[in-house]
Structure 1
Amino acid sequence: MTKDVIALTERMPDALSVLAGLLAGGPELRVETAGEGAVVQLCDDDGRPLVSIEVPLMLRVPGEAARLLGPGAEPSGDGPAWWVEARAAAGVPRAEELAGAFAARLTMLLGGRVWPPDAPGTVGAARPVDVSGISAVPAPAAAQPAVDMLTDKAAVVLQDRPVVPMTSWLTEALRATLESGRSLQIVTPPHCRLSLPTRALLESTDSRWVVQDERCGYYDGLTGAVLRWQDDAFSPDRAENGRTPVADAFTETRPIGERQLIVSFRTQHRPTDDLVLGGAVEAAWKALTGGPPAGWGTAEPAGLPWSRRQLTELAYDRAPRPTWTVVVGTPARPAVATLRVIRTPEGVEEDVTLTLGHGPGETPALDALPGLADELVTRHGLQTMLCQLREARRDLSAPPRFEHPPLPYAFVLGPAQVREAGRDTASRTPLDEAPVRLGSNARPGYYYPLGDGETAESWAALERLMRHLRGAPPA
């Protein structure tokens, strides 16, 4: 496995401290840059990378390090921390020791701690690592530090950390992989989990989570399908009958008593000069948690305090390209959202999926959903919203085991969609419970209860509603 070593420093890394860290391998190693200067690499004599070091990221959001690295990862002190990630090249002796020594040197100079705390090279880091005679494999054709192996069909990334986040490394690797027509395949041991944004992006693209298993070799961490390496990529291992078996490890589950509330919605705005984005996700956060989001960013960890103005400026600078961001909450109420801003001929759309975690004895704020829907219809240009419940982890990470799919709880139609379906059709449905009118009488929206969100009957209710709104005859 490729090893990632992270320095969480209490003070900002400056040029001298970074230089001291880079000298962990002695003065003989070459220093190169990649990604337009965003990545510094320690290289062998032939210029091939041994360790890739990303530009320091300022963490001003409490709990982000613990969310992704586990309890005890947060540096001491009340101020912000800096996250400096070093990635050791796969299959290169002493590369991980070199990454650990770099991180340890930074924390010795700047305060803080190294993750993982037992990383090779962290003990005795004041002495340079002996790198005589070591060399790296040739850099992959993708020129992506995050990619460990590249074929014509797949870019393979090896990870071994508690939670695999959608870091800037991984975001860039995913972009380059998709542009080249390949599949991104993340390979992990069975104890790893995916962050919610990582899972969402893998599920929405031609990508795969490959889990090593001592019994079957490899399996898909999201579907359980047994995999094998064939034709330059991991793909389903089909039996003689043409079916793909499901790994036993994937089905070994037990009730955990934890739930997630998932609220997915899309809004549309006119592209005016005074448009400020992020209002809908902020309104949802306040309605369901009692306060605004804690932070946001274009990757994980999300290091910036929540700011609608900065989010709007970023989307404006990137237009007409879409802007994808992560929004996070506080440790007291786990909540993560992905927000995608899209410029369309009709205006500016915000596509949001907000997920909130609840432990045993904690009740999701279901009573707040009709009021939230009314606010989104009235003030934020809501098009549609789907609210769902599922049994899943409170910390919102995805384990490589079967999780029950979410069940619909409520659906919301905005004014433009009501007009498209027809007001009589939208207001009179075949559901047992009448819809709740939202917004003004002149431009109403409707909130449709679908059941308790705990039985499969809610799927049948949603299907009946969709057929009705589309004008299709009852099934």
Structure 2
Amino acid sequence: MSYDVVALLAAEPGMVAVAHSLRDAGADLAVRPLDGGVVQLRDAEARVLATLEPAQLVESRGEVSRLLGAEAAVNLPDTCWWAEVRARPDAAGREAAHRVADGLALRLGGGVWTSGPGDFSLWEETGHPAVEFEAEEAFVVAQDREVVPLSSWITDAVSANALRGTVLQVLTPRSSRLTHGLRTLITQPMARWVVLDGKGGQFDGVSGLPLRWDRVHGYVPDARNGSAPEPACGFLDISPLGAHLLVDLAVRHGASFAPPLCRAVELVTGHLAGVLPAGWGPHEPALAPWDRERLVRLVRHRAPRTAVLQFSGHQDAGPPFTGGARVSWAPDGERAAERISLAIGFEDEGALPLGALPGLVEALAAENLLDVLHVRRARGRRDVTFEPRWHGLAAPVGMALGPDGVRRAGEEHALAGPLRGEPLGEAGARAIWYPAPAEATRQRAAEAVAAQLRHLTAAPRS
């Protein structure tokens, strides 16, 4: 796995500072530019030693402590730039990365953060700077970090491998945690979180099942002994974790020159966390301050291509939260659809703001920002990162149907389903909130929500 270095700089690293810092790594090293302003350092045998990303301005400063730890955020420069180097984890790679990062910090002011030492036995030369090694149908990104984010390294690797149809597998030590964005990505079909158990083996960080390497599929469940595999030792730890409120919202915007993109994010976080997001970006770290006008300009500029955005909450105001928004466009380039997913962390289930959900549904309906809403609760750390341990299955809290869905189904039919619905909002913009049975088990609650969805789907179309 790679060795990562982040330089937190007091001034923007211009071409001259970058050139001098690359030269510091060794006059005999070759510099190779890649797409997007990425630069690689290679040795005399053309092996990659280190890869430097373009620096990003840190405008949402809480991202530094969220992803790098509280110590990295101490004495940050008033103006701060994040410059990340990903290095080959042998002595030559680590030395090259430090010479580049230390050279930038020496010239521009600032400090340097480093990951764990990495593991050179888990490294192969591949065609992408984020990918350690590959199988025929999977590629592996290995990270030795306390918190592993959905970084630009990973999102670019996913995009680069999309045409090949290969899937992402993230390999980490047992001490690592994933952000909500990355854990959501690796729970997609065939993706996987591979955790080193410290004893020469590995297990799935979501299910706990032991894994083995397969040259075709990458890491796969290890069932070679013929018996049902047991979860890794300690994976079923049921000690207290805290609680997550998980929100998934679908929004359909009608034809409009300026659809109110991500306004729904503001309503959800405002009602359930009490604050708007602190930062956003196309990946993590989400370093730009929350500014919906700026965000919409970026999304419109990318249209009709789909835009995927990450956002996070404040570190010192309201409960921690993090999430993502996916904006896709109809062929006409005007009608847009949003899929918003976020997790909000609390000390325990008693702190979940369940009483605020009807008000949220009514507010979303009033601004025509609700198609379908699903809300669940689950065990989880308050900081909304995920350890490689059993979190249990998320339990439904309730669902909501927006005004268009209510009109299509007919309000009488929508209210006659197996879940008792609560009409909310003014006539013509009425939504229905369906709370899951409060005393039901997780399975019973899930069955009740599924039955309600079947009932709504069976409604006659007007």
- Contact 2:400–2:433 (Cα < 8 Å) also in 1: yes
In 1, Cα distance between the equivalents of 2:59 and 2:117? 25
Single out whichever of 447-456 and 264-273 deviates more from structure 2.
Answer: 447-456
What's the counterpart of residue 381 of structure 1? Answer: 369
1:294 to 2:278 alignment: yes
2:223 to 210, 235, 238: 238
What's the counterpart of residue 10 of structure 2? Answer: 10
What's the secondary structure of 2:234's corresponding residue?
helix
Distance 1:454 1:116, change over 3 A: farther
In 1, Cα distance between the equivalents of 2:341 and 2:273? 15
What's the counterpart of residue 75 of structure 2? Answer: 76
What's the counterpart of residue 186 of structure 2? Answer: 202
- Contact 2:135–2:214 (Cα < 8 Å) also in 1: no
Displacement after TM superposition at 1:44 (Å): 1.2
Displacement after TM superposition at 1:349 (Å): 0.7
- Contact 2:136–2:215 (Cα < 8 Å) also in 1: no
In 2, Cα distance between the equivalents of 1:373 and 1:443? 11
- Contact 1:158–1:188 (Cα < 8 Å) also in 2: yes
What's the secondary structure of 1:380's corresponding residue?
coil
In 1, Cα distance between the equivalents of 2:116 and 2:128? 27
The amino acid of 1:446's aligned partner reads I
What's the secondary structure of 2:181's corresponding residue?
helix
TM-score (normalizing by structure 1) = 0.88
Distance 1:188 1:94, change over 3 A: same
1:406 to 2:394 alignment: yes
Distance 1:362 1:138, change over 3 A: closer
- Which 5+ residue runs of structure 1 have no aligned equivalent? 121-136
Matches within 5 A, 1:329-344: 329-332=313-316, 333-344=319-330
Matches within 5 A, 1:369-448: 369-431=357-419, 434-448=420-434
The amino acid of 1:367's aligned partner reads G
In 2, Cα distance between the equivalents of 1:79 and 1:360? 36
Displacement after TM superposition at 1:413 (Å): 0.4
What's the secondary structure of 1:321's corresponding residue?
coil
The amino acid of 1:65's aligned partner reads V
Single out whichever of 422-431 and 396-405 deviates more from structure 2.
Answer: 422-431
What's the counterpart of residue 237 of structure 2? Answer: 252
Distance 1:469 1:395, change over 3 A: same
The amino acid of 1:290's aligned partner reads G
In 1, Cα distance between the equivalents of 2:51 and 2:198? 30
- Contact 2:4–2:87 (Cα < 8 Å) also in 1: yes
- Contact 1:63–1:330 (Cα < 8 Å) also in 2: yes
Displacement after TM superposition at 1:43 (Å): 1.0
What's the counterpart of residue 250 of structure 2? Answer: 266
What's the secondary structure of 2:73's corresponding residue?
coil
Displacement after TM superposition at 1:361 (Å): 8.9
What's the secondary structure of 1:234's corresponding residue?
strand
What's the secondary structure of 2:293's corresponding residue?
helix
Displacement after TM superposition at 1:51 (Å): 0.6
What's the counterpart of residue 115 of structure 1? Answer: 113
Single out whichever of 69-78 and 261-270 deviates more from structure 2.
Answer: 69-78
Single out whichever of 394-403 and 377-386 deviates more from structure 2.
Answer: 377-386
TM-score (normalizing by structure 2) = 0.91
- Contact 1:264–1:387 (Cα < 8 Å) also in 2: yes
What's the secondary structure of 2:190's corresponding residue?
coil
In 2, Cα distance between the equivalents of 1:101 and 1:455? 56
- Contact 2:238–2:390 (Cα < 8 Å) also in 1: yes
Displacement after TM superposition at 1:243 (Å): 3.9
What's the counterpart of residue 33 of structure 1? Answer: 33
2:448 to 450, 461, 464: 461
In 2, Cα distance between the equivalents of 1:35 and 1:246? 42
- Which 5+ residue runs of structure 2 have no aligned equivalent? none
In 1, Cα distance between the equivalents of 2:405 and 2:299? 26
Distance 1:407 1:361, change over 3 A: closer
What's the counterpart of residue 133 of structure 1? Answer: none
- Contact 1:408–1:453 (Cα < 8 Å) also in 2: no
- Contact 1:184–1:208 (Cα < 8 Å) also in 2: yes
What's the counterpart of residue 141 of structure 2? Answer: 157
What's the counterpart of residue 336 of structure 2? Answer: 348
What's the secondary structure of 1:338's corresponding residue?
strand
Displacement after TM superposition at 1:35 (Å): 2.0
What's the secondary structure of 2:12's corresponding residue?
coil
Displacement after TM superposition at 1:77 (Å): 4.5
What's the secondary structure of 2:91's corresponding residue?
coil
What's the secondary structure of 2:71's corresponding residue?
coil
CA-to-aligned-CA distance 1:251-308 (integer Å, 9 cap, x gap) = 234123x111111111111231132311111111111222221110001100111121
Distance 1:454 1:196, change over 3 A: farther
1:106 to 104, 107, 114: 104
Displacement after TM superposition at 1:453 (Å): 8.1
1:304 to 288, 299, 302: 288
Distance 1:220 1:119, change over 3 A: closer
Displacement after TM superposition at 1:382 (Å): 0.8
1:53 to 2:52 alignment: yes
Single out whichever of 19-28 and 404-413 deviates more from structure 2.
Answer: 19-28
What's the secondary structure of 1:330's corresponding residue?
coil
In 1, Cα distance between the equivalents of 2:195 and 2:84? 23
CA-to-aligned-CA distance 1:157-199 (integer Å, 9 cap, x gap) = 2110011111111100011223211122211110011111011
In 2, Cα distance between the equivalents of 1:458 and 1:451? 6
Say how many residue pairs are matched: 449
What's the secondary structure of 1:95's corresponding residue?
helix
In 2, Cα distance between the equivalents of 1:198 and 1:214? 22
- Contact 1:193–1:398 (Cα < 8 Å) also in 2: yes
In 1, Cα distance between the equivalents of 2:94 and 2:77? 31
- Contact 1:276–1:309 (Cα < 8 Å) also in 2: no
Q: Which runs of 4+ in 1 moved over 6 A?
A: 117-120
Displacement after TM superposition at 1:220 (Å): 0.9
- Contact 1:280–1:380 (Cα < 8 Å) also in 2: no
The amino acid of 2:324's aligned partner reads T
What's the secondary structure of 2:23's corresponding residue?
helix
- Contact 2:376–2:396 (Cα < 8 Å) also in 1: yes
What's the counterpart of residue 130 of structure 2? Answer: 146
1:213 to 2:197 alignment: yes
CA RMSD of aligned residues (A): 2.4
Distance 1:271 1:451, change over 3 A: same
The amino acid of 1:344's aligned partner reads A
- Contact 1:216–1:247 (Cα < 8 Å) also in 2: no
Single out whichever of 340-349 and 229-238 deviates more from structure 2.
Answer: 340-349
What's the secondary structure of 1:299's corresponding residue?
coil
What's the secondary structure of 1:459's corresponding residue?
helix
Displacement after TM superposition at 1:391 (Å): 1.5
